[in-house]
Structure 1
Amino acid sequence: MDADDKVRNYIDTHTPLLLDRLSEWVRIPSVAGVPERKHHLTRSANWLAGELRGTGFPTTEIWEGAEGPAVFAEWSEAPDAPTILIYSHHDVRAVKDENWDQTSPFDPVLRDGRLYGRGTSDAKGQVMAHVWGIRAHLDATGRTAPAVNLKLIVEGEEEAGSPGLADLLEAHRDRLAADAVVFSDTLLWRAGHPAICTSIRGMLGAHIEVYGPLTDVHSGAVSGTAPNPAIELGRLLARLHDQKGRITFPGFYDDVEEISQRRRAELAALPFDPEDWLERSHTRSIMGEEGYTVLERLWERPALEVVALAAGDPIGVMRAAVPSMASTDISIRTVGGQKVKDVADQVRRWVDETIGDDYGYELSLDTETAQEFYRTPENRVLECLSLAMVKGFQAQEVGRMGNAGGGPADLLSSALNVPVVFFGTGLVEDNWHDSDESARVDILKAGAATLAFLWAELGREEPGRRD
């Protein structure tokens, strides 16, 4: 049995244990942004630190963040090999238990090749792929330490926008020094067609409150004469896009980079079927900016979504009153060429010019937790990952893709002055941030195998390198 078969055999043999350990971790409700759950973030961090020690990491530490603890680990016993920093997170999104049908969110269950539970895919499952990839690498090679130097930082506040990550990076800059970052909080394209993510969109959040009457007022007393903030907010939202699906902030597209021919070809090479996409994404229909393919819209063009909307009496008994306030939360995704600061200024101008004089308003922009667009440059880790994915997924070839969401990739790259390479084990049908989140077991296994092959590939002597 050669080394590659040994990796696969080890993972196959230990799959029940992998799922058992992941299930135990998922049972810890490490929900971000919920005060009564905060102590569970500490429990989750301690659980992971123990798991990493059990894997063999000689150094594991808990670093306190702004809203949740991060886990740091290091295993550096290969002085002539590169050093890789693995990034991911152990906090999870809030849940609505009543919307889950397969199981309760923190009571994981294995069904039809999927493990259901909050965090199984985003991103505890991705971290566990790393854990078992390292174990498989050691078993197949007979090594007592990885062929490369490995460091991990698994933060506990990514779902809250990583408010403390910049300070952690600054405080521990020397401890986190590496040749590259492997960022594991992304999606794959399809189970049967793996692709490497090479870009991630930026993100800026905005909260708008529109004010009408000084208090909620009985509509029978003032109907027809009072300013209704729900109507004004509806008018505002209706003007966010033009007839061609383009965002209407002044100057918004001035700095947007055109998609290169190479990138267009990479995305066009991915198998795409509209019906398959609608089934996997649960999106009912395809919309967006005219003149671009679905994959170009997802990964290379900016986007704006309304993610929350409230006014009047959305729940409970209706009072038949004109509401005094209506509010919305907006998520803006940026792309190459754009800077969050410039987009924030465009939003301020647009809101100020668009809301009627008969209304008051307040605009809040999450510039402190905003994230910039990032694209991976060509580098040796990316080349080795491509080879590793071919073996890990037993595929003929590996494509290139992007990530429609955001993440602190640009922050990691700029703070540590290294390239960021993406590798995740999620799929769009895993229902991130939604009910019945799950991870495909075969994808977790292929991911773990890929990572085992990656460390072996990176540990080989570089072509042309001299001692």
Structure 2
Amino acid sequence: MTANESIQNYIEAQTPLLVDRLAEWIRIPSVAGVPERKHHLTRSANWLAGELRGIGFPVTEIWESPGGPAVFAEWSGAVDAPTILVYSHHDVRAVKDENWDQTSPFEPVLRDGRLYGRGSSDAKGQMMAHLMAVRAHLDATGRTAPAVNLKIIVEGEEEAGSPGLKDLLEANRNRLDADAVIFSDTLLWQAGHPALCTSVRGMLGVRIEVYGPLTDVHSGAVSGAAPNPALELGRLLGQLHDQKGRITIPGFYDDVEEMSQRRRAELAALPFDPQDWLERSHTRIILGEEGYTPLERLWARPALEVVAMAAGDPVGAKRAAVPSMAAADLSIRTVAGQKVDDVAEQVRSWVGETISDGYAYELSIDIETAQEPYQTPDCGVLDALSAAMAKGFQVQEVGRMGNAGGGPAALLSSALNVPVVFFGTGLVEDNWHDSDESARIDILKAGAATLAFLWEELGTQE
């Protein structure tokens, strides 16, 4: 039996363990940004540290951070082999229990090859693939330690924008030396056509509050002569895009780098069926910037979305009052060439110049948790991962894709001065941040096999 067959057979035999351990971790409601759940973040970190010790990691530590603890582990026993730092997160998004149909968010259930529960895909499932990969790698090779030097950092604040990660990296910089980072918090393209992610977009959060009357006022008393901040906010938001789907903020595209012909060809090579995309993404219709394909819009062009709005009485009994305030939260996704500080200044200028006289407003731009875009450079780890994915997913070739969301990849790369290479096991139909989040067990198994092949490949390279 070959080593490759041994890895696949081991993972197949240990699938019940993979499902059981992931389900146990999901039961810990490690929700980010909710004070009453903060102690669960500590429980989650301690649970993961225990799993890592159980596999054999000789060093496991809990690094405290204001928003939630991070887990650090190290297994460095491979002389002259590369050192790889694995990054992921164990915190999860808030839930609305009443919107879940398959199960309650923290009561995982296995159904039709999917494990349902918050964090099953984003990103506890991705981390469990790593744990299974180390087990399979050791079992198949007979090694007492991995063929590469492994370091792991799994933070507890990613869903809140990783506000404490920079300080953690600076405080522990001498512990984190590595040759590359494997970043596991991204999506695959399709279950049957895996693709290697080589870029993520940046992220900038903006909140606009528009003020009209000094208090909510009965519309029957002032309607027709009073400023309505909901209407003004709607007018502002309606001007953010033109008829061709382009963002209208002056200067917004000035620094956007045009895609190379190589990148266009990589994205064009991926199979894209509009109906398949609509069914998997639940997006009803395909819109966006003219002149670019849907995949180019998703991964290589900037975007601006309204992710929340509030005014008046959105729930409960209506008071027929003109509201005193209306608010909207925006999520801006940036791409190569753009800098979040520049985009923030462009937004400030646009709002100040566009809002009507007579209205007051407050603009909050979250620079602290903003993230810059990142593109993986050509490197040996990227080539090795591509080959490992082909074996792990049992396909002839692996495509190239991007990630529509972001993450602290640019921060990791700049802080550690190493390339960041992405490997995730999520799919768009896994319903990240939504109800009935789930992970496909066969994808987690293929991901574990990929990583086991990768560690062996990197450890035996001359």
TM-score (norm 1): 0.99
- Work out the number of aligned pairs and report it: 462
Distance (Å, rounded) in 2 between the aligned partners of 1:263 and 1:66: 39
The corresponding residue for 2:235 is 235
Equivalents in 1 of 2:158, 2:461: separation in Å? 35
Q: Secondary structure at the match of 2:177?
A: coil
- 1:442 is matched with 442
Q: Which residue of 2 aligns with 1:162?
A: 162
Distance 2:66 2:130 in 1: 25
Partner of 1:189: 189
Q: CA deviation at 1:65?
A: 1.2
> 2: CA distance between counterparts of 1:390 and 1:187?
16
Whole-angstrom CA distance in 2 between matches of 1:144 and 1:306: 51
1:394-439 deviations in whole A, cap 9, x for unaligned? Answer: 0010000000001000000000000000000000000000000000
Q: Give secondary structure in 1 for the equivalent of 2:174.
A: coil
Q: Stretches of 4+ moved more than 3 A in 1? A: none
Q: What one-letter code is carried by the residue in structure 1 that aligns with 2:341?
A: K
Deviation for aligned residue 1:66: 2.4
1:42 aligned residue? 42
Question: Shift of the alpha carbon at 1:10?
Answer: 0.4
Matches within 5 A, 1:10-409: 10-409=10-409
Matched position secondary structure for 2:410 = helix
Query: Which amino acid is the alignment partner of residue 277 of structure 1?
Result: W
In 1, the alpha carbon distance for the partners of 2:79 and 2:71 equals: 23
* Other structure's SS at 2:285 match: coil
Residue type of the alignment partner of 1:177: D
Instruction: Please give the secondary structure, in 2, of the residue aligned with 1:356.
Output: coil
CA-to-partner distance for each residue in 1:150-188, whole Å, 9 max, x for gaps? Answer: 000000000000000000000000101100000000000
1:60-119 deviation digits (Å, cap 9, x = unpaired) = 000011200000000000021000000000000000000000000000000000000000
1:227-286 Cα deviation digits (max 9, x unpaired): 000000000000000111000111000000001000000000000000000000000000
1:119, 1:264 → 2: CA distance?
Answer: 33
By how many angstroms is 1:461 displaced? 2.8
One-letter amino acid matched to 1:264:
R
Letter of the 2:16 partner, please give it: P
| Alignment root-mean-square deviation, CA | 0.4
The residue number in structure 2 matching 1:465 is none
C-alpha distance in structure 1 between counterparts of 2:268 and 2:79, whole Å: 41
1:110-135 Cα offsets, whole Å, 9 max, x none, are: 00000000000000000000000000
Q: CA–CA distance in 2 between the matches of 1:246 and 1:255?
A: 15
SS at match of 1:266: helix
| Matched letter for residue 135 of structure 1 | R
User: Which SS does the other structure have where 1:366 is aligned?
Assistant: strand
Tell me, in whole angstroms, the C-alpha distance in 1 between the residues paired with 2:24 and 2:74.
23
Which residue type is aligned with residue 226 of structure 1? A
**Structure 2 residue ranges without an equivalent (≥5):** none
Separation (CA, whole Å) in 2 of partners of 1:207 and 1:220: 30
How much identity, in percent, do the aligned residues show?
A: 82
Match of 1:461?
A: 461
The answer for unaligned runs of 5 or more in structure 1 is: 463-467
Written as runs of structure 1 = structure 2, the 5 A alignment for 1:408-419 is: 408-419=408-419
Q: TM-score w.r.t. structure 2 length?
A: 1.00
> What SS does the aligned partner of 1:84 have?
strand
Q: Which residue identity lines up with residue 229 of structure 1 in the other structure?
A: P
User: Aligned AA for 1:37?
Assistant: R
